[in-house]
Amino acid sequence: MDDLNQSLSSIGASPDGGLLDAAVVAQRWKESGDSLARLMTWMDSQEVWLSKGGDAELNGLLHQLIELSERESWVRDMHKPYMAAALAELLAWVASSRFFRMLEVMDRNSPNFVNRFALALGRIGGDAGRFADLFFERVMVVHRGELLGRVFGDTRTNAIAEAIRTIRETRHE
C-alpha cells in the first residue's frame, strides 16, 4: 500500500466530488438503464462495512487514481501483483456504484485496464486475496445480471468475465 500512497502523493486531489459524487454516479447508472441503477443501489445497500458519509478523503484518492490512469507508466505498475493488491484493498472501501464508475473511467483512459487488472489480481493470494475476491464477486454479480456490457462494452465485458472465470477455476483446483 506504501507504493500506491507514494504514487498518489505525486499529484493533487480533486477539490470536489466531481464525477464520483454520489448524485453524479447515481445519475450515470440511471442513464444506463433502470435495471443497472437498481442493481447498483442494491449492491451499495449490502456493503455494511462501508461508512456512510465522511468520504471526502477517499474521493480525493479516487480522483488521483483516475488521473494516474492516464499515465502509461503508472498503468503498467498497477498491473504488478503487489500494486494491484493495494488498489484492490482500497477499492474494497468504495461503494459498488462508485467502484464501477471509477473502473469505467479508468478503462476508458487506459483501454483494457480492468481486464489486465483482473489478471494481476489473479496472481495474488494470502490476505490480499480477500480483496481480489471481493473485486471478482462485484464484477461477476453485475455480469450475471447481464448488465456489465453497459459499464465496459460487450467486447471488454466478455474478456473480463472470461479472465475472472479462469482465475476462479484455477484457484479452486
Task: Provide the 8-state DSSP code for 110.
Answer: S
Q: What is the pLDDT along the chain (173 residues), one digit of tens a residue?
A: 555 555 444 434 444 458 888 899 999 999 999 999 999 999 999 998 887 665 778 888 899 999 999 999 999 999 999 999 999 999 999 999 999 999 999 999 999 999 999 999 999 989 899 999 999 999 999 999 899 899 998 888 989 999 999 998 887 65
pLDDT at 4: 54
pLDDT tens, position by position, 69-109: 999 999 999 999 999 999 999 999 999 999 999 999 999 99
pLDDT at 54: 56
pLDDT at 96: 95
Type of residue numbered 165: R
Q: How far apart are CA 152 and CA 150, in angstroms?
A: 6
The answer to whether 22 and 28 have CB atoms below 8 angstroms apart is no
Sign for the CA dihedral angle at 113, 12, 134, 153 comes to negative
pLDDT at 58: 84
Question: Which residues have C-beta within 8 Å of that of residue 86, sequence separation ≥ 6?
Answer: 1, 3, 4
Q: How far apart are CA 1 and CA 6, in angstroms?
A: 9
> How large is the angle between the packed helices 2-9 and 81-91, nearest 10 degrees?
80
**Cα 23 from chain centroid (whole Å):** 18
- CA distances, 45 to each of 48, 93, 97, 168, 173 (Å): 7, 13, 10, 26, 33
C-alpha cell at 100: 464501477
The answer to whether 72 and 110 have CB atoms below 8 angstroms apart is yes
The answer to whether 139 and 131 have CB atoms below 8 angstroms apart is no
